[in-house]
Amino acid sequence: MRFANRLLIAVGTLSILAGCGKPTPAGYWEGKASAKEIPLKDQFRTLTRSAETDFWFVVDWSPVNHTGVAVGEAEAVYDAELKVDNLPKVTAPVPGGSVKFEPEVGGKLTELDRHRKFPIVGLLSLQGDGGTLVLEKVSAPDNRSKREKLDGEARGQQAPDRPMEFTIRADPGVSGGLAGSAGKLGYNKGKLSAETAGGGEFSANAPDVNEKLGGTVIQIPMRPFSPFNDSPAKVEKRPGGPYAATFEEKGSNYSINWSAKQMGGEKRAAPRLTPEMERQLEQLRKMLASKR
């Protein structure tokens, strides 16, 4: 038998064996995430925020190095509330209407649309039937011009990281210097910002709107935050079933829980990799390599 024919037969045999090999985590996955945090807390005030998220991704699997790149999309619903002891119920006027504060509520998310869609990326690695999966929210700065933003809004397009409206009562006991073990909240001339003890930012500075609102409330932007962190989830092959990933982490002022499972089939096309996605994937590779 000629060498070329023997080689062709060998390659064909390997292809058949590969097709009959063990299942891989490649393909379409779906999952849910729940993240809660208390970025600010002192003797009288507690600021909480949360995100409930549905997400999906497609894994591009490499059988050579047993790793896969996950690319997909998430949709989160956000909430936030500032509780202050001994505050009465009140209705405060705002442009175009009013906002109601229940007893002990000093501030809350008043954004009409609390949903935000954003791309996600991740890295999956296996050793045997188990492994790890790390997911990240992709930073998506809106670099469009003002005209492009207006044109996009007219077509119903919204930036994934556009801030949400958070309204806080302007009472001195509420918006004055908030500081606690978890972080601090600063208010100066209508500008309010908050930082967690770990360096995270709750909101950006807002324009001076106090005069426009008659000193009753302050409206500030709250940026969407990620329902994931850099810690890996545990990946396992279910007996007679698909691969699945689970993650749970709790700290003194936060909790993150998420899970995902392989659904099979290409139900959605993976988003095209952008330069920002490529950059974050490379950072993930370096981070995971440093932990080995």
Confidence of residue 105 (pLDDT cuts 50, 70, 90): confident
pTM confidence score: 0.75
Q: What is the pLDDT of residue 107?
A: 87
Alpha carbons 116 and 73: distance in angstroms, whole number: 10
Out of 2-6, 103-107, 222-226, 235-239, least confident range:
2-6
Q: Which residues of 94-125 are buried (b: 16+ CB within 10 A; e: fewer)?
A: beeeebebeebbbbbbbbeebebebbbbbbbb
Q: What is the pLDDT of residue 202?
A: 37
Which of these, 260, 253, 258, 259, lies nearest to 36 by C-alpha position? Answer: 253
Higher pLDDT, 205 or 71: 71
What's the rounded mean pLDDT across residues 107-126?
A: 92
Q: What is the pLDDT of residue 153?
A: 65
Q: Mean pLDDT, the chain, as a whole number?
A: 77
**pLDDT single digits (tens) 134-180:** 999 998 666 667 777 667 666 766 666 788 888 887 665 565 443 33
Out of 122-126, 191-195, 251-255, 259-263, least confident range:
191-195
Q: What is the pLDDT of residue 142?
A: 64
Res 15 pLDDT > 90: no
Alpha carbons 145 and 161: distance in angstroms, whole number: 16
Res 209 pLDDT > 50: no
Alpha carbons 225 and 237: distance in angstroms, whole number: 30
